[in-house]
Amino acid sequence: GQQLNQSPQSMFIQEGEDVSMNCTSSSIFNTWLWYKQEPGEGPVLLIALYKAGELTSNGRLTAQFGITRKDSFLNISASIPSDVGIYFCAGQRGRGGNKLVFGAGTILRVKS
Amino acid sequence: GAVVSQHPSRVICKSGTSVKIECRSLDFQATTMFWYRQFPKQSLMLMATSNEGSKATYEQGVEKDKFLINHASLTLSTLTVTSAHPEDSSFYICSASPGTGGEKLFFGSGTQLSVL
């Protein structure tokens, strides 16, 4: 199925550094979601974005819904070891329970 | 956030047997649930959309007779992998959204299926 273009594929950073990852698409989405997945677990919702230009924070995480509705980014400030995991962006075209299109994921490793 | 419970978390079975995976929305009703499959270090691939009281909608390339989906109530969907073979070994994850207009999808904790 179609996937979003998510980058980078992986990151290995020093504890305390800021992290940025993004997703782009050739088509418009009405909702962007960011998830974190740890090994052997299902994805956990981090941030949901509903409006073009929307900037939303959740603790040290900040995500934005691109103005063109074709992209989104996620920033993590002052990374800590427990930030380790795979981060997925997901786009949704419709409203109300429509299926998600996922990015390929960004593997984050943090060196303490 | 809303809670989606998935069971079992891990199952090992012999080739040729069938395996049933349950997905429950614990604190909300879900007319639609989704089933995903994930291979190691890869993204989630949608297999099918489970609709309460009607037939599931399968993605292209997913065998309906192989992956039977039943959504008998507003809080339960099941995925049965019939006559499982080693190539069916994978991580299966369900998700559900609370209420109408609920764009947020919450995921179960996944089921690791290993077929010997």
pLDDT > 70: percent of chain A: 93
Condensed to tens digits (0 to 9), the pLDDT of residues A13-65 reads 999 999 999 999 998 998 999 999 998 999 999 999 999 999 999 999 999 99
Token pair, residue B81, equals 């992998």
Q: How many angstroms separate the CA of residue B17 from the nearest CA in chain A?
A: 23
Closest residue in A to B51 (Cα–Cα): A97
Q: How many angstroms separate the CA of residue A18 from the nearest CA in chain B?
A: 23
Taking the C-alpha atoms of residue A8 and residue A20, their distance in angstroms, rounded to an integer, is 9
Chain B residues with CB under 8 Å of A33 CB are 103-105
pLDDT > 90: percent of chain B: 72
Chain B residues with CB under 8 Å of A96 CB are 97, 100-103
Token pair, residue B116, equals 């010997």
Condensed to tens digits (0 to 9), the pLDDT of residues B61-109 reads 999 999 999 988 889 999 999 999 999 999 999 998 875 544 678 899 9
Upstream peptide bond of B8 is cis (omega within 30 degrees of 0): yes
Minimum-distance CB partner of B108 among A42, A95, A105: A42
Decide: residue B70, CB within 10 A, 0-12 exposed, 13-18 middle, 19+ buried: middle
Condensed to tens digits (0 to 9), the pLDDT of residues A79-111 reads 999 999 999 999 988 655 567 889 999 999 999
What single string gives the DSSP state of each residue in A67-105?
Answer: TTSSEEEEEE-S--GGG-EEEEEEEESSSSSPPPEEB--
